[in-house]
Structure 1
């Protein structure tokens, strides 16, 4: 004879497991959290499903493909970078520096997503807002429409590709300090054949990935300043 308690416990044991309810926001949030985990070089839909406590196939009810998922994750990182741009619109140099610095920081903290910037275009609100900030900055600098577009393209290419490359390096070499050296060590070269490498070896060894990233940003800013000065002169 089964007791009431036994019957109740039996009912509980036969009850179906409670499923996690998914939506796009919860999936993106979990994806960002997973990407920020040390040692995560790629986002696996299977691992993401495990983190969400859901069948991985359920993710595809909200994203048609892995690429669309990565686009959503990348656009969310871009939105975070845009949010870091707080300088007054008249201070166009500061706004460019803030956007670039935040892009490098967010990509480096989420390398599994940041590396996708080399190949993905999101067409999302984050990407559109970042483009608007850059076009607005170079317009504020006093450039002609053609030069606004050229400088935007130059800055975007440098910031995205270099930040993505740095984030890839951080993912592959998680033990590197931040910022990381541009070279892993001194260049081993015969000074008789390569005298300039020998002469500049210590300076090359002191370069960091962040130094070179910001040097490129400053080069674009200086180019905008020179171009605007020539046009006004």
Structure 2
């Protein structure tokens, strides 16, 4: 678990609301997210929520049918951070921004990453994310009958990379990355000539590596789409 900053003490109004047991949906979601981000998903129980809010754990059932519905609402709320693509931007700029925003949600919310990875696309924000991704792929010139494969490639890469950023300290912790570099730099070049040669460039900073991989994937999408037809961006430019 990455170290997290403990949330600040509740305001007077929040404290009073918790003391009197007057809850609302947003207060529960905010507290649940704080618990997951600080102490991990396993710590997020209805009993813990009740203790933090100063109410009986059964009070949550007035706002959520069960824990699964609470988790779904948490995921949906996190994806508010993904901005709607700029209608005046290029498909490539928009897809790049979508993938980066999407990835950062996983990186920044380790405690909820597991829930997000298991969550089906049955929440409003996730519908929007799919709609925006597909729209930009169509603008890139990807044939409609191939959209599924392109969309899945983007999904797999973004979510997979986000989970690595959340759960793999050997890639995300600078000290560990530096140690890996030293290990490779010390390899016998006679036995491992290629790895020893590349030692200084191995294990780059996590976000830098992800941004590079996004551009690599977008390059592949652009090249593949160019073989299939004329992207809408180009048709629009030509018409203008």
Task: Indicate whether the TM-score tops 0.5.
Answer: yes
After TM superposition, give the deviation of residue 153 of structure 1 in Å.
1.1
User: Structure 1 residues 219, 146: closer, same or farther in 2, change over 3 A?
Assistant: farther
**Equivalent position SS for 1:79:** helix
- Greater helix proportion: 2
Question: Counterparts of 1:6-17 in structure 2 under 5 Å?
Answer: none
TM-score relative to the length of structure 1: 0.75
Q: CA RMSD in A?
A: 2.9
**Equivalent position SS for 1:22:** coil
User: Structure 1 residues 134, 33: closer, same or farther in 2, change over 3 A?
Assistant: same
| 1:80-114 deviation line (CA, Å, top 9, x unaligned) | 22xx2452255211111211222232322221112
After TM superposition, give the deviation of residue 159 of structure 1 in Å.
0.8
Query: Following the alignment from structure 2 to structure 1, what is the Cα–Cα distance between the partners of residues 70 and 26?
Result: 11
After TM superposition, give the deviation of residue 232 of structure 1 in Å.
2.8
**Equivalent position SS for 1:63:** coil
After TM superposition, give the deviation of residue 185 of structure 1 in Å.
2.5
The residue aligned with 1:44 is 44
**Equivalent position SS for 2:198:** helix
After TM superposition, give the deviation of residue 36 of structure 1 in Å.
4.1
- The answer to whether structure 1 residue 118 and structure 2 residue 79 are counterparts is no
Q: Is the 8 A contact 1:138 1:148 kept in 2?
A: yes
Structure 1 residue runs of 5 or longer lacking an equivalent are 1-16
- The structure 2 residue matched to 1:185, chosen from 168, 180, 187, is 180
Q: Is the 8 A contact 1:181 1:209 kept in 2?
A: no
Question: Counterparts of 1:74-223 in structure 2 under 5 Å?
Answer: 74-81=75-82, 84-88=83-87, 90-169=89-168, 176=173, 185-186=180-181, 187-188=183-184, 189-205=187-203, 207-223=204-220
Query: Following the alignment from structure 1 to structure 2, what is the Cα–Cα distance between the partners of residues 127 and 142?
Result: 23
Count of aligned residue pairs for this structure pair: 208
Query: Following the alignment from structure 1 to structure 2, what is the Cα–Cα distance between the partners of residues 19 and 168?
Result: 38
- The answer to whether structure 1 residue 232 and structure 2 residue 233 are counterparts is no
| 1:138-184 deviation line (CA, Å, top 9, x unaligned) | 011111012322211110111112112212246x999x46xx97675
Q: Is the 8 A contact 1:36 1:110 kept in 2?
A: yes
**Equivalent position SS for 2:20:** coil
After TM superposition, give the deviation of residue 30 of structure 1 in Å.
1.9
149-158 or 20-29, larger mean C-alpha shift: 20-29
After TM superposition, give the deviation of residue 23 of structure 1 in Å.
3.4
